[in-house]
Chains A and B, each alone.
Chain A
Amino acid sequence: MASNQSHRLRDGGIVDRSQPLDFTFDGKSYSGFSGDTLASALVANGVKLVGRSFKYHRPRGILTAGSEEPNALVELRTGARKEANTRMTVTELYDGLEAASQNRWPSLKYDFLSVNQLASPIFVAGFYYKTFMWPAKFWEGLYEPLIRRAAGLGDTAKQPDPDHYEKAWAHCDVLIAGAGPAGISAALAAGRSGARVILAEEDFAVGGRLLADGGEISRKPASEWLTNAMAEIAAMENVRLMTRTAVFGVYDGGTYGLIERVNDHLPVPPAHQPRHRLWRVVAKRCIVAMGAIERPVVFGNNDRPGVMMASAVRSYIGRYGATPGKSIAVFTNNNDGWKTVDLAEAAGVKIAAVIDARDDLPPELLARGKEGNFSVLNGRVSSADGGRDGITKVRIALNGGATAQVDADCLAMSAGWNPAVGLTCNHRGKPEWREDIAAFVPGNCPEGMTVAGAANGHFSLKDCLSGGHRAGAEAAKAAGMSGKPGTAAKSSAEEYGQTPLWHVAGKGKSFVDQQHDVTASDVKLANLEGFQSVEHLKRYTTLGMATDQGKTSNISGLAIMAEVSGRSIPETGTTMYRPPYVPVSIGALAGHHRDEEFHAVRLTPSHHWAEEQGAVFVDTGLWKRAQWYPRPGEKDWLESVNREVLTVRNGVGFCDVTTLGKIDVMGSDAGTFLDRVYINTFSKLAVGKARYGLMLREDGIVMDDGTTSRLSEDHYFMTTTTAKAGPVMQHLEYCRQVLWPDLDVQLTSASEQWAQFSIAGPKTREVLKAVLDPSEDVSNDAFPFMGAREVKLRDADITCRLFRISFSGELAFEISVPCAYGDAMARNLMKAGQPHGIIPYGTEALGVMRIEKGHAAGNELNGMTTAGDLGLGRMMAKKKDYIGRVMAQREELVSPDRMVMVGIKPVNKLDKLYAGGHVIPKGAKPGPDTDEGYVTSVCFSPMLDQYLGLGMVARGRDRIGEIMSVCDPLHGKTYDCEICNPVFYDPEGGRQRG
């Protein structure tokens, strides 16, 4: 199939002509070779038009051959794997690749919205701000949807991504970003010195510019040096080469972000392999050897297909054996551009002309035209003529004032090179201007970073090799290595000889940023309108945004701004460089943590048993808890929950409460410690007793509650709420380590050691007797309310802890068994409780019963309430100090007007109460002025056969019996409610003490 590769050269390059690969672009079939990128394969097939531009829908071709590409973006793949805005210049070709151009309708050749060009006077800088201002209400309904349809590049996949992504860590002494001549030299030197080295290269092939430009190293072809160097690197166990891996950011403490495109070069990743892997590399030193980016010249119609960077032309010819044109004109302001002439001629490609802008053009270059049979013109390209299928002619303003024109189907342009300083500025370092090369070079780099080669403004191969070697040796030494780095490879010196050239006035739009369609006149307009700061220029014109982050446009843009605002380029400055330096997929940033693995999940000991029972689970923080246990025939959750509540209140049920935080508080000062943490006293609690405790934050607001038992003289067992288990542990550790290091207290979480079940209901004792050793007496006398002690299980030598505490308001115990027996405990409770009609109940029934009993929980312990608000003010000890005591006495916190916890009951028993409703005086107009409280928790109470709620109401305790209104705008309802005692059920508490 190679025969149809009209622009493929017979030989040369590092593509494998024995391995043809078929692919399609916009549905048309083509073929390329192994080693091609999608861009090089299209170049080989003579395809020039590859996309339409962002705003004006202008025809665009391929500008570069690398990561900096602004134009040649495609939708790669189809279906769920479709990826928009993929740079074809870094897309490795594979057999069966499918790509489609973007931003065109109905087709790339005949794009309807190219009429936008006619309206171009309104698409100027800041056009969104100027155009879509009025009327404001049109924005959401009209303007935004319209703009979204018209603008934007590419279309995203509509299905979930079927591939997986992962994140990984790596550690090394020296991280080297870029495996061109400088990076490879650095890796050799550092590796020989004994350092652990990671050499990361974004490309799939190593060698950087050597792959295209060749050259001589140590008097031999550069390719030979490259082969030998890579063989030496491969043999060094301490050097790890990572290709397809770009360093994209510098983070704190010597941590670097790398994105490895593990399987982008295949249609589908092999089984169990990720598509991308995000690396966090911790390195003692880092060497940036990422080379430089060639800069375009801004002239008329400089965006026409066929206008290409000179270095890209060399890459396509030299590396891929494909020529972007049959007759190439070269436009340069430096000697490096002339390399294109040598390379093209060597490959048998015709040079149409060389246009060199330098007034002091060296005579030997002038003479080259005669040898090569092409004209050398001293001047500047002012515009390129031609249509969507490529340029046909370039117009030239000669330095003397005359004009000329040259027929060519490709223009290779070079305005010099910009060192890739991006990473060096990630810690807010500012690059420095170097007048001799008219470019910014790295300034104050992040700690531990050095720069070598072209990235440091040293463009010659000689300097890249020696600079890389020096940087590698120094970095290894700084990382503590003492091995010998060997010597640097040598190459002959080159003269760069550039004269700055940014912009040539001429006919046609002159693009600065081709990705965002920002022109030279936009920059000038921004200046006129006062947006002179580069940061303002960027936001106002969108210069330098999107996938390429202005790699080919930023410096030209600010150079033009400098010119029109009468400042120097360094005075104008650069915008902030932030990570990522190259696009990073969101999938890679998420890694393993998506879908069900979005976060770690905690399972209770009875989880698998509950699954067998058909339980419905609810996420409670990281925990999965059984929410209710539906039975056949129950029509909805409410029916299940009502049954569970009624069974517990009339018989017996059990609930897995393992999720409560459990903390061992130990040591001879444990009692004192708890006295200072809780508002009530624990040091005098008798061994074998439990007590409800409440702790405050330093500011006097309630932090958490729970029961704490004294297991022995110097061992307390604290429980916390599920939600606050972590924060309470953190708080206690802070108190122990920072506030009172003098106390003899040891803390550790025991949450995971114990499976804890609440057994509740009037028949609890019968069930307990059946699961406990017959010697255990759980009668009211032997085991009174708030008792706590170790007990033995029936038929086993397992020691457990039993606590007589109740959240439901029923006769209840909580039993702790070692976690391994949690599953068995659930099964045995069912077995032993069967004669008594035992059922498992979930968190919903638990919630209903606690609301019926008026127990405050998370909705009331909401970070705004005091102990007094919750009706627990009397627990605050008078004779001791504790955290929060003083601040809790602040005037506002003890005001009689505060909202306090009350019960709320709809007057009409059929009204359904929702949490979040606002409490206002009966009949008042809802509003901030009449707002006197809010509903915090609601449930349907099967005991009272109506909805009930808890809420916070101003002066609530004095208003028991008052009829107020609850306004619920969310559900569009207002209804009358009675303010009542929050303890709706068994207010005397006889049941739990029975």
Chain B
Amino acid sequence: MAKLQWNEAAPLQAVAEARRHGVSDGDAGVTAGEIRGFQLVLLLARRGQADAMRKTAKTQFGADPGNEPRAVSGKNGCTMIWSGPDQFYALTPKAKSKPVAQLQSKFAKSASISDQSNGRSLIRISGPNVRDCLCKMLSVDLHPDVFSIGDAVSTQMAHMAVNVWRDKDDAFSILVFTSFAESLWRAILDHGAEFGIDIETPEQLS
């Protein structure tokens, strides 16, 4: 039999092609695109082992993830995103990531690890009107004095559960469940259309 092809399909494979959406003249107010090629693991501290987990995280990911709603940068392009008390996501470029089994053995005593690399879609959204667009879906106050660079939140957007953090002044990352990705994508396009959206070619996480 001929060789089987195992092509990866990203959550937004069918829809996130580069194009301009909404208002077409002038500069786009919003830029959005899907980020691919990442490892995403959820670490949940074993009972009473939260400190040990953070300690191991420091050696494994290069920084203390802390225990407050922040997205913390580590080594090898890793970002650790708080997702609840004593639990966080570690988001790493696939090329620089360690096998989940290896992480499981490193954190054996301190954390349970669930691989969610395929369970989420990662969307980056930015631009001068990014807050005007997001405020139609997010109930969170995104004013820079309140939600500054590196702040993270576990909330919902257009009734879909998401993790959102601020990368730059006008740039945010959004993690959404894979099965909801197309719905959220349509919501973003609908709500950003009045500002004009540049949909970027999907990029690999770096």
Which B residues lie within 8 Å of A822 (CB)? 9
Interface residues of A in 200-238 (CB under 8 A from B): none
**A467 to B14 alpha-carbon distance, docked (Å):** 58
Contact A832 B159 (CB under 8 A): no
Contact B159 A599 (CB under 8 A): yes
With A600-B180, A828-B5, A832-B4 as given contacts, are A746 and B117 in contact (CB-CB < 8 Å)? no
Contact A831 B4 (CB under 8 A): yes
Q: Pick from B8, B160, B186: contact of A821, CB below 8 A.
A: B8
Which A residues lie within 8 Å of B22 (CB)? 272
Interface residues of B in 93-134 (CB under 8 A from A): 111-112, 114-120
Which A residues lie within 8 Å of B117 (CB)? 753, 818
Which B residues lie within 8 Å of A167 (CB)? 136
Determine the residue in chain B with the shortest Cβ distance to A280: B139
Range class of the A interface residue count:
35 or more
Range class of the B interface residue count:
35 or more
**A602 to B186 alpha-carbon distance, docked (Å):** 13
With A603-B179, A667-B46, A668-B46 as given contacts, are A750 and B135 in contact (CB-CB < 8 Å)? no
Which B residues lie within 8 Å of A271 (CB)? 23
Which A residues lie within 8 Å of B194 (CB)? 272-274
Q: Pick from B8, B44, B141: contact of A820, CB below 8 A.
A: B8
Contact B179 A795 (CB under 8 A): no
Contact A752 B112 (CB under 8 A): no
Contact B47 A828 (CB under 8 A): no
With A196-B143, A608-B14, A795-B3 as given contacts, are A166 and B191 in contact (CB-CB < 8 Å)? yes
Interface residues of A in 715-736 (CB under 8 A from B): 715
Contact A600 B112 (CB under 8 A): no
User: Is A604 close to B, CB under 8 A?
Assistant: yes
Q: Pick from A669, A750, A823: contact of B9, CB below 8 A.
A: A823
Which B residues lie within 8 Å of A750 (CB)? 114, 116, 119
User: Is B190 close to A, CB under 8 A?
Assistant: yes
Shortest CB distance A132–B (Å): 43
**A192 to B159 alpha-carbon distance, docked (Å):** 37
Contact A819 B178 (CB under 8 A): yes
Determine the residue in chain A with the shortest Cβ distance to B40: A753
Q: B1-39, CB under 8 A of A: which get 1 and which 0? A: 111111111110110000000110000000000000000
**A819 to B177 alpha-carbon distance, docked (Å):** 11
Q: A815-829, CB under 8 A of B: which get 1 and which 0? A: 000111111100110
User: Is A623 close to B, CB under 8 A?
Assistant: yes
User: Is A256 close to B, CB under 8 A?
Assistant: no
**A274 to B46 alpha-carbon distance, docked (Å):** 49
Interface residues of A in 724-763 (CB under 8 A from B): 742-748, 750-755
User: Is B187 close to A, CB under 8 A?
Assistant: yes
Number of A-B residue pairs having CB atoms within 8 Å of each other in the complex: 153
Contact B139 A748 (CB under 8 A): no
Q: Pick from B10, B47, B183: contact of A601, CB below 8 A.
A: B183
Shortest CB distance B160–A (Å): 5
User: Is A664 close to B, CB under 8 A?
Assistant: yes
Shortest CB distance A910–B (Å): 42
Q: Pick from B6, B135, B146, B190: contact of A828, CB below 8 A.
A: B6
**A288 to B13 alpha-carbon distance, docked (Å):** 50
Which of A31-39, A168-176, A563-571 participates in binding chain B?
A: A168-176
Contact B136 A666 (CB under 8 A): no
Contact A748 B1 (CB under 8 A): no
User: Is A770 close to B, CB under 8 A?
Assistant: yes
Contact B187 A597 (CB under 8 A): yes
Q: B193-206, CB under 8 A of A: which get 1 and which 0? A: 11000000000000
Contact A818 B180 (CB under 8 A): no
**A743 to B2 alpha-carbon distance, docked (Å):** 50
**A601 to B120 alpha-carbon distance, docked (Å):** 15
Contact A272 B23 (CB under 8 A): yes
Q: Pick from B4, B114, B182, B187: contact of A592, CB below 8 A.
A: B187
Contact A597 B136 (CB under 8 A): no
With A592-B191, A832-B4 as given contacts, are A820 and B112 in contact (CB-CB < 8 Å)? no
What are the 5 tightest A-B residue pairs by CB atom distance, in nearest-first order? A666-B112, A752-B119, A819-B118, A753-B119, A602-B179
CB within 8 Å of A: which residues of B?
1-11, 13-14, 22-23, 42, 44-47, 111-112, 114-120, 135-136, 138-141, 143, 146, 158-160, 177-180, 182-184, 186-187, 190-191, 193-194
Q: List 19 A-B contacts (CB under 8 A).
A: A166-B191, A169-B136, A196-B143, A272-B193, A272-B194, A597-B187, A599-B159, A600-B158, A600-B160, A601-B180, A608-B13, A715-B112, A752-B119, A770-B1, A771-B4, A794-B4, A798-B6, A823-B13, A831-B4
Beyond A169-B140, A272-B193, list 18 extra A-B contacts (CB 8 Å): A168-B136, A169-B135, A272-B194, A592-B191, A599-B159, A742-B47, A751-B119, A752-B119, A752-B177, A752-B178, A753-B117, A820-B9, A824-B6, A824-B8, A824-B9, A827-B5, A831-B2, A831-B4
